[in-house]
Structure 1
Amino acid sequence: MEPYPNPLLAGFNPDPSVVAVDGTYYIVTSTFEYLPGLPVYRSTDFAHWEQIGNVGTRPEQLDLSAVPTGAGAWAPTIRHRNGVFYVIVTVPRGRGCVVFTATDPAGPWSDGTVLAGLNGIDPDLAWDGAGNAYVTYSGLLLDGANMGKHLGIQQVRVDLESGLLLEEPRPLWSGTGLMFPEAPHLYQRGEYWYLMIAEGGTERGHGVSIARGPSPEGPFEAHPSNPILSARSTTRPVQNTGHGDLVEGPDGQTLMVLLGVRPGGGTRAFSPLGRETFVTRVEWVNDWPIAEPVSLAVRSAVTDSVRFDGPLDNRWIAVRRAPESVATVDVSRSELRIVADGSGLSGPSPAFIGRRQLTIAVQSSTTVDISRGVGGLAVRYDEDHHYEIEARATRRGTLVTARASVPGLCQQWSGELPAGPVTLHLDAARPATAIFSTEMMTSDHVSLWAEASGQEVRLARIDGRYLSAETAASFTGRVIGLYATEGTVTFSGFDMHGSDL
C-alpha cells in the first residue's frame, strides 16, 4: 500500500481528531489563542486535504480576548450522530468546556453549549446504544483551590441540550503511570469498548496507550504492550508522537491520526513548525490494536500565493481577534490594508494576520506601501518569539529594519532603499553544512532582506532554534504574516513557497 503523505496536515495543526461520514473524512485541530479557531479539513481519499472552514468564526464562540498564551482552544474532538456534527473542546481561561454543532461541517457552527462544572481538558464525546452521551476527559483542574492538580482520566454523562452534568464524574483507567494522562477517546468495536489515551507528556516522552472493557464505563483492562505507539528514545524522524484518534480508512484498514514534530539540528533538538498532524496504520491482533511507527513522507513542494482580489479566505488567522477586525481588503485595487492601533508584535493582540508556515524551508514575500504608515512581514511563534522585517518612509527614501525578539532580548539591523513600494522577504532554510559545528546544531536559519527599484539590502540571517516548539511558550507553531505598527500600511499580495525534500 502506498504511504499517506506525512505530515498529513503540515504546520501548526496539533491535537487532531477525525470522523468519517459517508465516505468523507473530517479533521479538526487545536488553535489556542488564534482566531478563527478550530479549522475543519476534509478529504475523500485521506491523502489530499482541503480546509473547508473553521468552527470558531465568531469571537464570542471561544472568548479568547483575555486568554494567556498557551491557553485558548485546546484539543477538540469531532464526532457525528444522526445527521449532526459535534465538536467538543475545552477553552481554558475562556468559556470552559463547550460543545458546538452543525449540520454542515463547513459551517456555520452553533454558538456552543457550555458544560458547566466540567473541570478538565481534552474532552471526548461518545454515545452508548441507549443514546446516553458520555464525555471522557483529562482531569487537569483548571480552577478552584486545587488548580493544577491532575485527577487522571475522568468521565461523566451529560445532557448535550442543556449542558448539565447528569452525575458526579468518575475516574477511569489512566494509563501505565506515565505523566499527564490526557487526550482520551472512547470507541466501540465488536464486543469491546476501547479507551485510548496519550501519556508521557506532549514532548519527547509522548505516547499512545489503550485499554478495553465491556462498557463505556469500564472496567478497563490495559493492553499488554502499552504504549502501543511512541517514538521516545528512537532515531525516528517524527518525534513526540501521541494524542491519537482512530478511524476506518478508505481501504478498510484502521488509521490513527496523531500529533508529532519534525526536529532538526545535529542532536534533533528543535522543531520549528511545532506540532503537526500525522497518520499511521493500525492492525488488530486478538482484538488489540498494534500501531505502525510513524513514517515521514513529505510533499515535494507547497505553494501559497495570495492576491487580495476577494474576501480573506479561511486560512488567515489573527491573535485573539478575527482577521477581519485587523485587515481590510480593497478588491478594486487588489490590496490589503492594516491600520495600526498601538499594539506591536510583542503585545497580546498585534495588528497582524498570518498563515501557517507549512514547510521548514520556505521563501515568503510581500510588497508594501508605507507612505502612510510603518509595518512589514513577520514570523511569529508567540509575543516573546518573533522575527520581522519592517519598512518606514524617510526623507531620503525607505528605512528597512530587521528585528529578532526572544525573551528578554531584542536585536535589530537596518539598511536603506529608494523611496516607493518595497518588497520584503523572509526566508528559512536548513543549515547547509553536515560538518560537526555550531552551524549544524540548529533547526534552520531565517534570512530577512528587502528590495526596491532594482536595489536590495540583506540585513540578517538569524538562528531559527529560538522559534521552535522546544523554546517558545505557546503550543502553536510558526505563523508568517503581515502587520502594521504605525498608521496605515498597504500590502500587494503575499507569497509563500517551500519544500522539505
Structure 2
Amino acid sequence: MHYNNPIIPGFHPDPSICRVGDDYFLVNSSFEYFPGVPLFHSRDLIHWEQIGHCLTRTSQLDLRKAWKCNGIFAPTIRYHQGTFYMITTNVSSQGNFFVTTQDPYGEWSDPIWFQHRGIDPSLYFDDDGTVYMTGSHNEAGFGATGILQCQLDITTGQCLTEPRIIWQGTGGKGPEGPHLFKKDGLYYLLIAEGGTEYGHMVTIARSTSPWGPFESCPHNPILSHRSLDDAIQITGHGDFVEDQQGNWWMVCLAVRPNGYPPCHHLGRETFLTPITWTNDGWPIITGGRLKLVTEAPCLPSQLVPIFPARDDFDQPQLRPYWNFLRNPDMTRYSLSERPGWLQLRGSSSSIAGKGAVTWLGRRQEHFICRITTLLDFEPQIDGEEAGLIVRMDAQHHYEIAVTRLEGEQRIIARRTIGTLSAIVANVAFPAGPIQLGIDATHDLYTLTFTAVDQVEQILARGETRYLSTEVAGGFTGVYFAIYASGNGQECQTPAYFDWFDYQPGLE
C-alpha cells in the first residue's frame, strides 16, 4: 500500500503525536495566529481531521506582543491515565506552560506555568510515576545550546530537580525539539539539529538512564535531506509513535521548494515516514529519506469528513481551519448581524500594523488553487478598505480590495515586499456586491474581480517567491484572508462577506 506526503499540507510545522487506543492525535505550532495549536485526529495516520485548537481563549494565549514568528513554538501532546497534556512555549508572553483536558474535542484548561530556561518543552511519563520535562536550553536568545531536563510536578508545574543538560546533540546548531521515550528498557532522546533551514535534521541517542550519559546513534542523522537534489527539503523536528500492530512511525516537518533558486511559500508541512529498528536497537528511516509517495504497511484506511470548498458563513461558529491574526477583538466580527454573511468592522489598525487587525484567514495548502469571495462594502471616507489578501507576514503580502480614493470608490491591487509597498492597479467601481479572487499557481498569484453580470477581469499579478521564507525570512507560511481596515481611523461602514471559496487544483 502507499500514501501521499505531506499528510497535513500547508503551514503545519513542528508536529507532535500520541496514540490512545485506535485514535491518534497530532498538534502543530501556530506562532502569532489565534486560536493556537491546531489539533488533529486520525485512525490511520494518513487521513487527518482538524477537530479544533488547544488554545482558544485569551486566558490561555496572550498574543498582544506577538510580532513576526513569535507566539507559540513547538507544542508536544501526550496522554497519561485519562488526561491529555499539551505543553509548549509562548515566546511573546510568560514563557513555558501546559494545558490539560479529558476530552480533546472539548475545552482545555487554563495554563499551568513552569520555569524552563529555553523553548520546545516535552513531557515523558515514566513507569515509576516520575514526570520528565525535556526542552531546548537557550537562556540567551534563541540559539539553543543543548537539551535541558528536570523532573516536574505535573499538578503544580514545580521543577522538582535542578535542570541540567543531558545531551548537546551531534554538533549541529540549535539542538531543539526533544522527545524522551522508552523502548525495550532503554531511554531514547530524539531531537532536531541544524537549524530550521536547509541543514535541518533528526538525530537520536539512547541511555540506560533518563539522565544519560546518552550514546549517539552510529548512523546519525537518522533523517536529513541536506545537500540532496530532492523535492522535499528542510526535514526535521520529528516525533515517534507506535501503531496498534507494533509498527513504528515518525511525523516530522519538511518543505516543498519551488523554482530556482528554490524557495518555499506554503511553509513547513507535516510529513509521515515508517520506522524500522536494527537488530541492535537503532531506528532506521525506511528508504533513507522522505518521499512524496511512500510504500508502507499502512493501517486500514479510515477516511475523515472533508469540509466543503465553500464556507457560506451560515453556521453559528466558524470552521476550525479559520485563524485570526493575534488576539481578535470579537466585537468586530459577527455571523448573526446579517444572517448568511460574515460582518467585519475595520479598526484603525492596518493589515501591516501590530494591533488587533480585523482579519480572518486560512492556510494555503495547495500550490495550485483558486480563492474567491463575495464582498458587499461601500466605504464612506478615504482610506477605508476591505478585501482579500494573500499574506506571508506584515511586510510581504498582496491584496485586492474595495476602497475609497479621493472621494471615489475604487478596486485596488497592492503589492508589499519589504519596505516597498504600492498600489499597482486601480479601477473605478460602483456600489454593490463584487466577487474578488486570487488564482494561485506554483509561480504566480493572479488578483481578479468580477462585477455582477460581467466577466472576470485580471487586475494584477505577483510572484509567489516574494512571499516565500527565503525572501521574507521567518518560518511560517502563506495565508489567504479576508479583512477590513480604516488605515488609521475607525471604519464607518462594515464589510459583509457572503461566502469564501477555496478550490484546490491539480498539482
Task: Please report the TM-score for the alignment, with normalisation by the length of structure 2.
Answer: 0.91
Map residues 90-129 of structure 1 onto 2, 5 A cutoff: 90-115=89-114, 117-129=115-127
3-state SS, counterpart of residue 172 of structure 1: strand
Matching residue's letter, 2:412: T
The corresponding residue for 2:370 is: 363
| Post-superposition offset of 1:222 | 0.6
The whole-number CA distance in structure 1 between the counterparts of 2:19 and 2:332 is 35
The whole-number CA distance in structure 1 between the counterparts of 2:71 and 2:352 is 18
Which consecutive unaligned segments of at least 5 residues does structure 2 have? 295-302
The whole-number CA distance in structure 2 between the counterparts of 1:109 and 1:95 is 18
Matching residue's letter, 1:375: A
The answer on whether the counterparts of 1:185 and 1:245 sit within 8 Å (CA) in structure 2 is yes
Which consecutive unaligned segments of at least 5 residues does structure 1 have? 431-443
Matching residue's letter, 2:121: P
The corresponding residue for 1:252 is: 246
The corresponding residue for 1:440 is: none
Map residues 205-220 of structure 1 onto 2, 5 A cutoff: 205-220=199-214
Using a 3 Å threshold, how does the CA distance of structure 1 residues 94 and 304 change in structure 2: closer, same or farther? Answer: farther
Matching residue's letter, 1:313: R
| Post-superposition offset of 1:95 | 2.2
The answer on whether the counterparts of 1:417 and 1:456 sit within 8 Å (CA) in structure 2 is no
Matching residue's letter, 2:341: E
The corresponding residue for 1:66 is: 65
3-state SS, counterpart of residue 294 of structure 1: coil
The whole-number CA distance in structure 2 between the counterparts of 1:72 and 1:306 is 28
Does 2:358 correspond to 1:351? yes
Does 2:483 correspond to 1:477? no
Matching residue's letter, 2:273: T
| Post-superposition offset of 1:332 | 6.0
Greater mean deviation of Cα atoms: 171-180 or 83-92: 171-180
| Post-superposition offset of 1:383 | 0.9
The corresponding residue for 1:277 is: 270
The corresponding residue for 2:23 is: 24
| Post-superposition offset of 1:469 | 2.2
The whole-number CA distance in structure 1 between the counterparts of 2:499 and 2:62 is 31
Deviations 1:360-380 (A, max 9, x none): 111101011112562000011
| Post-superposition offset of 1:382 | 1.2
Which of 311, 320, 334 is equivalent to 1:306? 311
Matching residue's letter, 2:433: P
The whole-number CA distance in structure 2 between the counterparts of 1:158 and 1:399 is 59
The whole-number CA distance in structure 2 between the counterparts of 1:148 and 1:374 is 38
The corresponding residue for 1:415 is: 427
The corresponding residue for 1:226 is: 220
Matching residue's letter, 2:346: A
Does 2:290 correspond to 1:294? yes
Matching residue's letter, 2:362: R
3-state SS, counterpart of residue 465 of structure 1: helix
The number of equivalent residue pairs is 480
3-state SS, counterpart of residue 212 of structure 2: coil
The answer on whether the counterparts of 1:4 and 1:279 sit within 8 Å (CA) in structure 2 is no
Deviations 1:448-492 (A, max 9, x none): 110102144311111111111222244221111110013311101
Does 2:422 correspond to 1:428? no
The whole-number CA distance in structure 2 between the counterparts of 1:391 and 1:213 is 62
| Post-superposition offset of 1:276 | 0.6
Greater mean deviation of Cα atoms: 406-415 or 454-463: 454-463
Does 2:458 correspond to 1:464? no
Matching residue's letter, 2:395: D
Matching residue's letter, 1:70: C
| Post-superposition offset of 1:354 | 0.5
The answer on whether the counterparts of 1:259 and 1:276 sit within 8 Å (CA) in structure 2 is yes
The answer on whether the counterparts of 2:337 and 2:343 sit within 8 Å (CA) in structure 1 is no
Which of 399, 408, 416 is equivalent to 1:388? 399
Matching residue's letter, 1:346: A
Task: Please report the TM-score for the alignment, with normalisation by the length of structure 1.
Answer: 0.92
Deviations 1:341-392 (A, max 9, x none): 1011101232111111110111101011112562000011111111110013
The whole-number CA distance in structure 2 between the counterparts of 1:160 and 1:275 is 31
Please tell me the root mean square deviation across aligned C-alpha atoms, in Å: 2.1
